[in-house]
Amino acid sequence: MQDLILARFSSISYRFLPAVFIITLFMQSACSQISSEPDLETKAAQMLLLGFRAVEYSDTMALSGFLKQHPPGGFILFDYDVPAHKRPRNIVSPDQLKRLVSDLQQAGGKQLFIAVDQEGGKVARLKSRYGFTDFPSAKEMAQKPDDSIRYYYAQMAKMLHRAGVNFNLGPVVDLDVNPECPVIGKLERAYSADPNEVARCANIFIEEMNKNDIGCCLKHFPGHGSSKVDSHLGFTDVSESWTEQELLPYRLLLKEGVPGAIMTAHVFNSAIDSLLPATLSYVTLDGILRTKLGFKGLILSDDMAMSAITKNYGLREALLHAINAGVDLLIFSNNGATYNPNIANQALEIIVDLVRKNEITEERIDQSVQRIKKFKENYCQSKI
């Protein structure tokens, strides 16, 4: 009998139902659709790749609160704490690192980037002193045949995969045009001065990382290899030294459809933009990288805590320019000159305020969130 009554009730036309009932149904449906859409804070938080001090998740009380409320795009890990001038920072041993990463992913809903700079040579966060394997520098690697390069990068990728890392911030595709460059050539981070050699080695690096569900990014766009100054330390002007040849590795690799992400450089080049360094430059990122080179993937900034940015721009100004220029993922390593335990909240509040004051459009935020989501799905899916 009850089923019969319900069946008859459901057949009644909506025009016979009380208006208030219909309005209630409509409002519930509308609210359901609205609640399924992420709010502005949630979307803006996805644009942050954050650094922190802790070797165990239980030591990250300030971070855990932010994680639960607004999960960021992910985290960047280091072995050495630059502001404190000491170890450890995040990495002690393979078992400890795997546990830390697992706890972070659990707290973040298994959708976080876990990023490191693991290039080989002097730039490597997972070192033999912690129980990992050391690998040749880029310059050394370029002297080897393809099968040897592939072997080394395959082993590196497997090591990162076991640790739970899903984003390796490499390879460096800067040309070794100035061997005395304090941040590239002198550290043997560049493969070669020959763009074809750079593309050859970078291609193998990316292929082996991708086979192990590890995303990569080419760096540092539009080229840091000719600089005479370290952008970690201050203003870096390459106006007199940079040439268009430094774009060739990007052209070659994009032609092959290789990169899913590209990292910016904090270099200033008056021939491209007379006002702003590359990370903050719409002319450089949208004009050259997006329009001229046709790149449609993820753009991430070099560390926004580097002195080339912090000594010349306030946090609000830097975020405004970077996002409007086209940066999708903003790195705040918190491993520069100073440590700011509240940087996540500060950056998030500024981004949200910039949108609400119409200095950045919400559509621009949505574009970045979609690129981040797509990158994770394409390159890191089995790890998140």
- Taking only the tens place, the pLDDT of each residue in 206-222 is 999 999 999 999 999 99
Compute the C-alpha angle 185/159/135, nearest 5°.
30
- Taking only the tens place, the pLDDT of each residue in 28-42 is 433 333 345 689 999
Q: Could you give the C-alpha distances from 219 to 15, 83, 226, 354, 355, in angstroms and in order? A: 63, 24, 14, 28, 28
The owner of tokens 């280091």 is 78
Read off the DSSP letter of residue 215. E
Closest listed residue to residue 172, CA positions, set 184, 160, 182, 181? 184
Estimate to the nearest angstrom the gap between the alpha carbon of 129 and the chain centroid: 27
SS3 content of the chain, % helix, strand, coil (to 5): 50, 10, 40
Cβ distance 243 to 174 under 8 Å? no
Q: What is the reported pLDDT for 11?
A: 43
HEC string of 313-374 equals: CCHHHHHHHHHHHCCCEEEECCCCCCCCCCHHHHHHHHHHHHHHCCCCCHHHHHHHHHHHHH
Q: Is the pLDDT of residue 58 over 90?
A: no
Confidence of residue 59 (pLDDT cuts 50, 70, 90): confident
Confidence of residue 66 (pLDDT cuts 50, 70, 90): confident
- Taking only the tens place, the pLDDT of each residue in 76-129 is 999 999 999 999 999 999 999 999 999 999 988 888 999 999 999 999 999 999
Helix (DSSP H) and strand (DSSP E) numbers for the chain: 14, 13
Alpha-carbon span 322 to 304, nearest angstrom? 10
Q: Does the active-site annotation cover 302?
A: yes
- Taking only the tens place, the pLDDT of each residue in 334-382 is 998 899 989 999 999 999 999 999 999 999 999 999 999 999 999 986 5
Read off the DSSP letter of residue 121. T
The residue annotated as part of the active site, out of 302, 303, 321, 328, is 302
The residue annotated as part of the active site, out of 220, 224, 232, 321, is 232
Arithmetic mean of pLDDT, 149-176: 98
The b-or-e profile of 200-234 (16+ CB within 10 A means b, else e) is: bbbbbbbebbbebbbbbbbbbbbbbbbbebbbbee
